[in-house]
C-alpha cells in the first residue's frame, strides 16, 4: 500500500462528465489498495469567469478580496468530486486550503506555502477515506484566504505530498508526459520515461510547459517523486525523480531533451568602457523595473571596451530598451543593438555534466544546417544557443536527430 | 453614530451593476457616520446553478459536500462587494462564515447558529472598516462548513446584529416593506411603518413572505430592531420592533394587517367516541409522517361523539388522508370529510389583545358579504377563519375596509 497524491487540472474537471471520469480514476487507484489524496483545480473557464465578474466592477481588484473570490473555484471542484466519490460508494471528504491548514505568507495572489498541517488528512486516510483538497489556495497566519497564483495547484499537490511523505505525486494533465522536445515541431519527439528534477527545471523554464516550475523545485527540494500523466489515457507518463544511483547512471542518455523559447528578445550594449561594476550598472536598473533577465553574456575586452548582451521576455523589450538608452549615456558606451526575432534552443541532460563533446556536436550540427549561432550559454546540465527565429524548427529537428532522441535508450524500462 | 447591520438578498446583488448600487447604499450609510456590517446572499441564480451542477453528478448529494459547494455562492458575493467598496475609496473587508466564526450545530443544509464571535468584526469597525459577511453559512465545532438552509441570510444578519449589539438590522428586499395585506389582492393596502415581532411572526407564517420566520423569532428573542426596506427605493420601509411603551400604545391601531393562505386543506374526522387521548391518537401519526398541522379545532361532544378538524399544507393532503383512513378504523369513528378548496384569512394585531369586539366585527363583515365561515381559531394577536377558497379576495378586501386599514392612523410617523 502506497500513499499517492493525485492532482487534476482544470481541463480534467471541466465538466460533470469529466469529474465523473476523474472519480473513476481515483477509485481505480484506491482499489489497488493505495491511500489517495486528490488535489483539484477550478473547472476550466471558472477562474476566468470569476475574474470577468471582478473586472466588471474594478480593473484592479483588491488583492485580498480577489483571493476570496478566486478560491471559490477550487471549492466548487472539491465538493463536486467528493460527492461523486461518495455517490460511487466510497468514503470521501473535501478540504479547502484553510481547512487543511495550508499556511502561507500573506502575499495575496502569489502566496508561498510555509507549512502544511497534514494531521487531519492523515486521520482521514487512516479511516479509509479518500481526501480531496482544493489546490491553489491557502490561509495566512491571520486566517485570510490566500492563493498561490496561476498553476499553484501543482505546488499544492507537491507540498501536500512532501508533508504527508507520499510515495508519489501524480500530476494529471492533457498530455502524456514530458517529451524530448515539442511534438508539434518534431513529430519524432519521444515521451521520456524518466527525467531528473534538474532536467525538468531546465525544460520547464525553457518553454516545455507541462509543470509549474515552482512545483518541480519544491519536489526536488523534498525529494518527492513526481509523475506527469494524461487524465484521458492509461500511459504511465513521465517520472521526475532524483538521479538514479549505481550502474544505470553509466548508461543514461547524454541529452534528455531539447527545449526552446521563441518569446525572448536580445539587447546588446556596445563599446562599454571595461571597469569593475559595469555589469551591475547595466542590469540593476533593469531589475529595478521588475524585468526578468534570462541569458547574460559578456565577451572579453578588446582595447578597453566590452560588449554586453542579455535577453529579456519579448513583452518587456520596449521598457528594457528605454532604460538602456539612459544607461548608455551614463556609461559613455557606444550604443545599443537589439533583436526581437531570436529564438533560444537548449540541450538539456544530466548526462552532459561529464561529456564535453556535447557542445561541439551541437555547434557542428547547427553549422552544417547553415544556422548562425548568435549567443552561447552553458550550465552543468544544459547548453543554450540563440539563433535567428526563422531557424528554430530546423535547429530543433536537426539536433533531435543528431542526438538520437527519437530512439529509446536500450536500458530504459516502463516504470509506471 | 449607530451600528447598522444591512442584509442584501440575491436579487439585490444579482449583477455587477446591482452590486455597485448596493455599494453606494452601504457607503451612504457609512457617510452618515454609522458603522456598517453588510450581510449578502449569493447572486440570484447562483445557488440554482450550483445545485444543477451537483445534480448532474448525483441526485442526493452528500450533505457535507453540498454545503461546501453552496457556500461558494455567498463567498463570491462578499468578495465582489468588498472590492467594489474598496474601489470606491472605502476600507472594507470580507468574511466567510468560517472566518467570522459563526458557530453552528453540525446539521448540514439546515444548521442552527449556536454562537457568533464578533470580536474580529468589532476590531475592523473600530478601525473604520466596512465589514462584509457571507450570509447563509457557518462552521461547526470541527471546522466543517455548514449552511443554514434557504433564506438563512436573514438569520445570519439578525444573529450578527444581536452578537454585535447593533442598533438596527436592515433587511433589503425588492418590496417596500410590510403591507396591511397583499397589494395584489387589495390595491388599497397600505405600507406599515411599524409592527411588533409577534405581529410579524403571524404575518410571515400566514403567507406574507417578506422575511424568514426564523430571523423574526431570533430578532424578537434578542430584541434586535428589524427594518424591511427596498434596495431600489429610498422609502424607510417597515420597522419590526418591540411594542412601544407608554401613551402611544393607547392609540395603536387594533388590527395591523390581514394575512391569508390559500395553500391549506381541511380534514375532519367525524363521530369520534369522546375519550381522553383522542386528539393525540389522531395527530401523532400525522406528526410522525413529518406533516405540519396548522389549525386544530375540536367541538364540544354531543351524545359522546366529537368532530375533530385540522388543516395541513395542500401538498401533504393526500398523505394525511391516507393516514386518517387507518386512524378512523382504529378509533371506531364514523368517517372523514375533507376539503382542499379552502382559504384562511387572519386579522393580526397586538391591539386586539384587549378588544373582544374585533372578532365579532370580523364575523359580521364576512356574513354581510354572504361568506360562510367554516372554522375559527383565535390567539392573543390574531383571529383566523377558514372560508371557501373562492371567497378569499372578497373576504380580504371587505375586512381591509371594515377595519380602516387603508387609512393611516393619525399618530403614525415616518420612523426611517
pLDDT in tens, A151-197: 699 999 999 999 999 999 999 988 888 899 988 899 999 999 999 99
Q: Do B83 and A62 touch (CB under 8 A)?
A: yes
- Inter-chain CB proximity B58 and A87 less than 8 Å: yes
Contact B79, B93 (CB under 8 A): no
β-strand partners of B169 = B5, B226
Residues of A in contact with B58 (CB under 8 A): 83-84, 86-87
Average pLDDT score over residue span A55-71: 96
Cα angle value A282/A284/A287 (rounded, 5°): 120
Is B120 inside a domain boundary?
yes
Q: Give the mean pLDDT of chain B.
A: 90
Lowest pLDDT segment from A26-35, A65-74, A247-256, A316-325? A247-256
How many distinct structural domains can be found in chain A? 1
Does the residue B122 lie in any domain?
yes
Please list every residue in chain A whose beta carbon sits closer than 8 Å to the beta carbon of residue B53: 16, 76, 80
How far apart, in whole angstroms, are the C-alpha atoms of residue B120 and residue B126?
A: 10
Residues of B in contact with A102 (CB under 8 A): none
Q: What is the pLDDT of residues A268-317, one digit of tens each?
A: 999 998 888 888 889 899 988 888 888 888 877 788 898 899 999 999 99
Residues of A in contact with B19 (CB under 8 A): 57
How much of chain A, in percent, has pLDDT values that exceed 90? 66
Look at A99-113, A129-143, A347-361 and tell me which has the smallest mean pLDDT.
Answer: A347-361
Minimal-distance CA residue of chain B relative to A14: B53
For chain A, helix, strand, coil in percent to 5 are 40, 25, 35
The Cα–Cα gap between B64 and B110 comes to: 11
Question: How close A137 comes to chain B (CA, Å)?
Answer: 14
CB contact (8 A) between residue B54 and residue A98 = no
Q: Name every chain B residue with its beta carbon within 8 A of the beta carbon of A141.
A: none
Question: Which pLDDT value is given to residue A247?
Answer: 44
Cell 450545530, located at residue: B105
Residue A51 contacts B where some CB pair is shorter than 8 Å: no
- Which of B20, B66, B79 comes nearest A68 by C-beta? B79
pLDDT value at residue A149: 77
**Any chain A CB within 8 A of the CB of B238?**
no
pLDDT band at A70 (very low <50, low <70, confident <90, very high): very high
The answer to whether the CB atoms of B94 and A61 lie below 8 A apart is no
B11 DSSP assignment: T
Contacts of A61 in chain B (CB under 8 A): 83, 87
Comparing C-alpha atoms, which of B322, B278, B296 is closest to residue B384?
B296
Q: Are strands B145-147 and B335-339 parallel, antiparallel or unpaired?
A: unpaired
Q: Is residue A96 part of a domain?
A: yes
In this predicted structure, what is the pLDDT of residue B210?
A: 73
- Is residue B84 less than 8 Å (CB to CB) from chain A? yes
Predicted pLDDT at A48: 93
Q: What is the pLDDT of residue A312?
A: 93
Residue A322 CA to chain centroid, in angstroms?
Answer: 30
Tell me, yes or no, whether B209 lies in a domain.
Answer: no
Q: Which cell is B124 given?
A: 475592523
In a domain, B414, yes or no: no
Domain that holds residue A109: 3-174
Q: With respect to residue A117, please indicate whether it lies within any of the assigned structural domains.
A: yes
Judging contacts by C-beta atoms under 8 Å, the chain B residues touching residue A53 are: 16, 76, 80
User: CB-based contact (8 Å) between A340 and chain B?
Assistant: no
Separation in Å, CA A22 to CA A9, A18, B42? 10, 6, 28
The closest CB to that of A72, out of B20, B72, B84, belongs to B72
Nearest residue on chain B to A60, alpha-carbon basis: B87
Interchain pair B93, A64: CB under 8 A: yes
DSSP string, B93-162: EEE-HHHHTEEE-S-TTS--EEEE--HHHHHHHHTT-EEEEETTEEE-TTS-EEE--TTHHHHHHHHHHH
The one-digit pLDDT tens for each residue of chain B (416 residues) are: 899 999 999 999 999 999 999 999 999 999 999 999 999 999 999 999 999 999 999 999 999 999 999 999 999 999 999 999 999 999 999 999 999 999 999 999 989 999 999 999 999 999 999 999 999 999 999 999 999 976 699 999 999 999 999 999 999 988 888 899 988 899 999 999 999 998 888 887 666 667 878 888 889 999 999 999 998 888 999 999 987 765 455 445 678 899 998 889 999 999 998 888 888 889 999 988 888 888 888 877 788 898 899 999 999 999 999 999 999 999 999 999 999 999 999 999 887 766 667 888 899 999 999 999 988 888 888 889 999 999 999 999 999 999 999 887 654 444 43
- Residue A349: what pLDDT? 87
Confidence of residue A150 (pLDDT cuts 50, 70, 90): low
Q: What is the pLDDT of residues B327-362, one digit of tens each?
A: 999 999 999 999 999 999 999 988 776 666 788 889
Residue B415: per-residue pLDDT: 42
Nearest CB to B66: which of A50, A83, A143? A83
Q: Which residues pair with A173 in a beta bridge?
A: A230
Q: Indicate whether A416 pLDDT > 90.
A: no
Indicate the pLDDT class of residue A250, thresholds 50, 70 and 90: very low
Q: Give the per-residue pLDDT at A413.
A: 43
- Are B16 and A56 within 8 A, CB to CB? yes
Global model pTM greater than 0.95: no
Portion 6-35 of A in contact with B at CB < 8 A: 16, 19-20
Best B62, B101, B129 residue to mutate vs chain A (most A CBs within 10 Å): B62
Give the CATH number of the domain where residue B163 resides: 3.40.1160.10
Chain A residues touching B75 at Cβ < 8 A: 68-69, 71-72, 75
Q: Which of residues 85-144 of B touch A (CB under 8 A)?
A: 86-87, 92-94, 96, 98-99, 143
Which chain B residue is nearest to residue A79, measuring alpha carbons?
B65
- On whether the CB atoms of residues B3 and B162 are closer than 8 A, the answer is no
Which residues does chain B have within 8 Å of residue A99's beta carbon, measured at their own beta carbons? Answer: 143, 145
Q: Which residue has the higher pLDDT, A359 or B210?
A: A359
A-chain CB neighbours of B94 within 8 Å are 64-65, 68
The pLDDT assigned to B409 comes to: 65
Residues 6+ apart with CB under 8 A from B18: B11, B12, B231
Kindly state the cell numbers that stand for A96.
Answer: 479547502
Distance CA A177, CA A18 (A): 20
Contact at CB, A75 and B69, closer than 8 angstroms: yes
* Inside any domain, residue A277: no
Contacts of A78 in chain B (CB under 8 A): 68
Is residue A169 situated within a structural domain? yes
| pLDDT at position B206 | 62
Q: How many CB atoms lie within 10 A of CB B233?
A: 12
What pLDDT, on the 0 to 100 scale, is given for residue B412? 46
CB contact under 8 A, B57 and A99: no
Q: What is the pLDDT of residue B413?
A: 43
Amino acid at each position: 500500500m502506497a500513499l499517492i497524491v493525485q492532482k487534476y487540472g482544470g481541463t480534467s474537471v471541466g465538466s460533470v462528465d469529466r469529474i465523473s471520469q476523474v472519480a473513476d480514476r481515483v477509485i481505480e487507484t484506491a482499489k489497488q489498495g493505495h491511500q489517495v489524496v486528490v488535489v483539484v483545480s477550478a473547472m476550466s473557464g471558472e477562474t476566468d469567469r470569476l475574474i470577468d465578474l471582478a473586472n466588471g466592477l474594478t480593473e484592479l481588484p483588491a488583492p485580498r478580496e480577489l483571493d476570496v473570490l478566486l478560491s471559490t473555484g477550487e471549492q466548487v471542484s472539491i465538493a463536486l468530486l467528493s460527492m461523486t466519490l461518495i455517490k460511487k460508494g466510497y468514503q470521501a471528504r473535501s478540504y479547502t486550503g484553510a481547512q487543511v491548514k495550508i499556511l502561507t505568507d500573506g502575499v495575496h495572489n502569489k502566496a508561498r506555502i510555509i507549512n502544511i498541517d497534514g494531521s487531519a488528512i492523515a486521520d482521514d486516510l487512516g479511516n479509509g477515506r479518500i481526501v480531496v483538497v482544493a489546490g491553489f489556495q491557502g490561509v495566512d497566519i491571520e486566517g485570510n484566504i490566500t492563493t498561490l497564483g496561476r498553476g499553484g495547484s501543482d505546488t499544492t499537490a507537491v507540498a501536500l505530498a512532501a508533508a504527508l511523505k507520499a510515495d508519489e505525486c501524480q500530476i494529471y494533465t492533457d498530455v502524456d508526459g514530458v517529451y524530448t522536445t515539442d511534438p508539434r515541431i518534431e513529430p519524432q519527439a519521444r515521451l521520456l520515461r524518466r527525467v531528473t528534477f534538474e532536467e525538468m527545471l531546465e525544460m520547464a523554464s525553457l518553454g516545455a510547459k507541462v509543470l509549474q516550475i515552482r512545483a518541480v523545485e519544491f519536489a526536488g527540494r523534498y525529494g518527492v517523486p513526481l509523475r506527469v500523466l494524461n487524465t484521458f489515457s492509461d500511459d504511465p507518463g513521465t517520472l521526475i525523480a532524483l538521479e538514479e544511483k549505481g550502474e544505470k547512471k553509466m548508461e543514461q542518455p547524454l541529452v534528455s531533451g531539447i527545449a526552446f523559447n521563441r518569446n525572448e528578445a536580445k539587447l546588446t550594449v556596445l563599446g562599454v568602457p571595461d571597469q569593475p561594476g559595469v555589469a551591475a550598472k547595466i542590469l540593476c536598473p533593469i531589475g529595478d523595473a521588475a524585468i526578468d533577465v534570462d541569458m547574460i553574456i559578456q565577451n572579453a575586452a578588446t582595447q578597453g571596451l566590452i560588449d554586453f548582451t542579455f535577453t529579456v521576455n519579448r513583452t518587456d523589450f520596449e521598457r528594457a530598451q528605454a532604460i538602456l538608452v539612459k544607461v548608455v549615456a551614463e556609461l559613455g558606451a557606444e550604443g545599443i543593438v537589439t533583436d526581437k526575432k531570436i529564438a533560444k534552443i537548449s540541450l538539456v541532460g544530466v548526462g552532459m555534466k561529464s561529456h564535453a563533446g556535447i557542445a561541439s556536436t551541437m555547434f557542428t550540427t547547427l553549422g552544417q544546417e547553415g544556422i548562425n549561432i548568435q549567443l552561447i550559454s552553458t550550465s552543468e546540465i544544459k547548453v543554450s544557443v540563440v539563433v535567428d527565429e526563422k531557424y528554430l524548427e530546423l535547429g530543433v529537428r536537426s539536433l533531435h536527430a543528431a542526438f538520437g532522441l527519437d530512439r529509446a535508450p536500450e536500458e530504459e524500462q516502463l516504470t509506471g
